[in-house]
Amino acid sequence: MSDKEISKYPVSIRQWSEDDRPREKLLKFGEHALSNAELLAILIRTGTPGRSAVDIGRELLHKFKSLRSMSGVDVSEFKKINGLKNAKIAQIKAAVELGRRMLSEERVLDGPVNRSSDVAGYLMPLMRDLKKERFVLLLLDRRNVFSDVIDIDYGTVDKANPYIRDIIQTAIRYNAPSIIVAHNHPSGSITPSSDDKSFTKSLVLACRATGISFFDHIIIGDNRYFSFADEGLIEEYEIVAVREL
């Protein structure tokens, strides 16, 4: 058999030396000793004829460039890789999501919310890499302590469509006297659109009419964020709301 033919049919992971097999290597030397492709191979478990699970892991990294960029990718994109079916894709997406949530836990909102940076730091790992807009409502208690985060909408690539009535009704249902809303821009830009500004003005008016304190609307970008409160826009809209009521 020629060298070319040998490379076409590589030795399966089961035939590798024990110290080189990803699972055994992890148990013996620890997870930090493995490459990203090897860690992915443990999730993938089995390869296809002519390709090991590590090879599929390398292809994943080549296609998506990094582990972080796999976050929020549609299932259909994973299915384009030979050897990845629903079960394996679910395992990979679950692992990536756990990693993202772990980062968010490190920045857990503990105690009264005083700064937009605290909220943005908590939301950044959860929302910055999503390929569609996600709109969330953060509920605060009477001490301005974060109590829950609720998905209001999950939109298309271009735009979410949060409903002000849903936001107000949710806050009332959970007896939340104060709220913060946030959404991501899949483009990575943090510049608020005219729709973002119009929506925020309307929400300020609705909150004031129902006695709910509206603290901020935060836009999550690529490791950056925009705060309507920090830019003085919430205060500006409050003045307009007073005039209109």
**Domains of the chain by residue range:** 3-103, 107-244
Q: What is the dotted CATH code of the domain comprising 107-244?
A: 3.40.140.10
| Beta-bridge partners for 136 | 151, 182
Output the tens digit of pLDDT for each of the chain's 245 residues: 333 433 444 556 666 755 578 888 888 888 888 888 998 998 998 888 888 889 998 999 889 888 877 877 888 889 998 888 899 999 888 888 887 777 666 555 667 888 899 899 889 888 888 888 999 999 999 998 888 889 888 776 667 777 899 999 999 999 999 999 999 999 999 999 999 999 999 999 999 999 999 999 999 998 899 999 999 999 999 888 777 76
Please tell me the predicted confidence (pLDDT) of residue 109: 60
What pLDDT shows up at residue 71? Answer: 75
